[in-house]
């Protein structure tokens, strides 16, 4: 069975990245499927973790991995390094004596425990004494329960995690209640402030990205714009001259850089660094999403029947978080730059093939397997290629971010 994996970020109150919950699915004939019995089976988890490499997936941050009761009792978690994972007990686990004993053994071995979709009852007290994190579903839990649980367990030193937090308002409410960790894509949704002005630096970085996205690259214009953003130019040239790339001669100009690395890589790297500069006041994960999404979209160009539009697809993904970075509606941001009409249509919600590619990529990011399968069918994509393309885009984005 083909393995598919996505990840959902977990942030702290300052929107700093703390880890990822890994979302696993198998792929059989007929579409994406959950493992046997509807649970994230240990076989899929363990095999996928080794196949995909935890570091590539999580970049050194902890991986939250769900375990069923059977997986827990069979001690499958012990196959993974304790410093790299958080064992997350599914809601189907029962607080039986053997479950408590298995949890105690994991704690003694240095593993951290999280309780998912926690049900408050006295029977869970022995497990709560071992728990590091309790996750509360913010969509299905009443306000009074959210507050009471945070107060009760927070006082015991347990980290309270609010999951399914999709709006900035929910994030702020959870913080007021005492939650310390947050899961959901609230940070990737725009908080529109109508009176907000955009700094000249941000505008200039956006214009640089727009120039890099044009079909015909005007090197003189790029060089002229970079002179107004010397820090970006310096960072780019510093990266190119790093021992990592191993060029024998020092790169001293933009044209020299293009001659050595090629026009497409030049566009990717410089635009990625401009995105990093744009996102300095935003969560790091948002910038990583932007860059990896761009490469993921581009990598689907040939399969989606858009082989000649790879650059446009890259910038489609890259620009898809501009409304969040600027705190303004997407249409207002796009009014300041020129992008291909079909890219603009896709970013503003109009149906076309570009929008389908973006929907495929964002569904895969979220681990929304039914939505991903539906778009894969429409675009006639190779489903088996998606995991490798996703991981490659994550790795490239991390390199660009740390350059």
Q: Which of 295, 348, 285 is nearest to 317 (CA)?
A: 295
Q: Are 181 and 205 part of one and the same domain? A: no
Residue 168 lies in a domain: yes
Q: Are 183 and 205 part of one and the same domain? A: no
Q: Are 126 and 204 part of one and the same domain? A: no
Q: How is residue 238 written in tokens?
A: 């510093």
Average pLDDT, stretch 212-226?
A: 84
Transcribe 175-200 into DSSP letters.
HHHT--EEESSGGGS----TTPPPPH
Instruction: Say what the pLDDT of residue 27 is.
Output: 53
Residue 239 lies in a domain: yes
Q: How far apart are CA 287 and CA 280, in angstroms?
A: 9
Alpha helices (H) along 16-160: 42-52, 54-58, 69-73, 97-108, 125-128, 143-154
Q: Are 183 and 257 part of one and the same domain? A: no
Assess contact for 212 and 267: CB atoms under 8 A: yes
Q: What is the chain's alpha carbon radius of gyration, rounded to the nearest angstrom?
A: 23
Residue 52 lies in a domain: yes
Among 187, 208, 233, where does a domain finish? 187
Where are any strands of DSSP class E within 269-334?
none
The CATH number for 94's domain is: 3.20.20.450
End-to-end CA distance of the chain: 36
pLDDT digits (tens, 9 = 90+) for 74-124: 888 888 889 989 999 988 899 999 999 999 999 999 999 999 877 778 889
Q: Are 236 and 177 part of one and the same domain? A: no
Residue 194 lies in a domain: no
Residue 244 lies in a domain: yes
Chain centroid to Cα 230, Å, comes to: 29
The CATH number for 241's domain is: 1.10.3210.10
Residue 193 lies in a domain: no
pLDDT digits (tens, 9 = 90+) for 228-272: 777 787 777 777 776 656 666 677 777 777 777 788 888 888 898
Among 161, 187, 213, where does a domain finish? 187
Of the ranges 55-59, 263-267, 398-402, which is most confident? 263-267
Residue 20 lies in a domain: yes
89 contact partners, CB below 8 Å, separation of at least 6: 66, 67, 72, 103, 113, 114, 115, 116, 127
Q: Are 34 and 129 part of one and the same domain? A: yes
121 contact partners, CB below 8 Å, separation of at least 6: none
The structural domain count of the chain equals 2
| Residues 101, 102, 108: CA angle, nearest 5 degrees | 90
Tell me the residue range of the domain where 361 lies.
Answer: 200-402
Q: Are 220 and 339 part of one and the same domain? A: yes
For the entire predicted model, the pTM comes to 0.85
Q: Are 224 and 149 part of one and the same domain? A: no
Among 162, 187, 212, where does a domain finish? 187
């Amino acid at each position: 069975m083909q393995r598919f994996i996505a990840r959902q970020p977990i942030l702290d109150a300052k929107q700093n990245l703390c880890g990822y919950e890994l979302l696993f699915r198998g792929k059989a004939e007929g579409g994406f499927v959950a493992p046997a019995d509807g649970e994230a089976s240990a076989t899929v988890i363990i095999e996928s973790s080794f196949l995909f490499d935890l570091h590539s997936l999580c970049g050194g941050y902890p991986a939250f991995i769900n375990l069923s009761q059977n997986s827990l009792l069979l001690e499958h978690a012990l196959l993974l390094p304790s410093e790299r994972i958080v064992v997350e007990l599914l809601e189907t686990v029962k607080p039986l004596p053997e479950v408590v004993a298995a949890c105690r053994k994991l704690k003694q071995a240095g593993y951290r425990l999280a309780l998912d979709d926690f049900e408050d009852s006295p029977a869970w007290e022995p497990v709560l004494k071992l728990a590091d994190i309790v996750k509360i579903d913010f969509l299905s839990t009443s306000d009074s329960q959210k507050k009471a649980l945070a107060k009760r367990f927070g006082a015991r030193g347990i980290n309270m995690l609010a999951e399914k937090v999709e709006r900035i308002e929910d994030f702020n409410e959870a913080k007021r209640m005492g939650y310390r960790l947050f899961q959901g894509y609230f940070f990737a949704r725009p908080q529109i402030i109508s009176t907000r002005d955009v700094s000249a630096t941000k505008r200039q970085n956006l214009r640089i990205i727009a120039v890099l996205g044009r079909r015909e690259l005007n090197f003189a214009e790029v060089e002229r714009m970079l002179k107004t953003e010397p820090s970006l130019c310096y960072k780019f040239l510093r990266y190119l001259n790093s021992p990592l790339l191993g060029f024998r001669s020092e790169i001293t100009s933009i044209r020299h850089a293009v001659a050595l690395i090629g026009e497409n890589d030049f566009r990717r790297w410089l635009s990625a660094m401009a995105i990093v500069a744009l996102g300095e006041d935003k969560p790091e994960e948002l910038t990583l999403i932007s860059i990896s999404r761009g490469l993921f979209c581009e990598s689907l160009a040939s399969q989606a029947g858009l082989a000649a539009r790879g650059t446009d697809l890259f910038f489609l993904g890259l620009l898809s978080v501009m409304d969040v970075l600027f705190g303004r509606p997407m249409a207002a941001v796009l009014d300041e730059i020129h992008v291909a009409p079909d890219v603009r249509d896709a970013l503003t919600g109009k149906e076309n093939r570009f929008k389908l590619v973006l929907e495929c990529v964002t569904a895969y990011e979220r681990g929304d397997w039914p939505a991903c399968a539906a778009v894969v069918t429409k675009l006639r994509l190779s489903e088996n290629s998606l995991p490798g393309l996703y991981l490659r885009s994550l790795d490239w984005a991390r390199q660009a971010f740390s350059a």
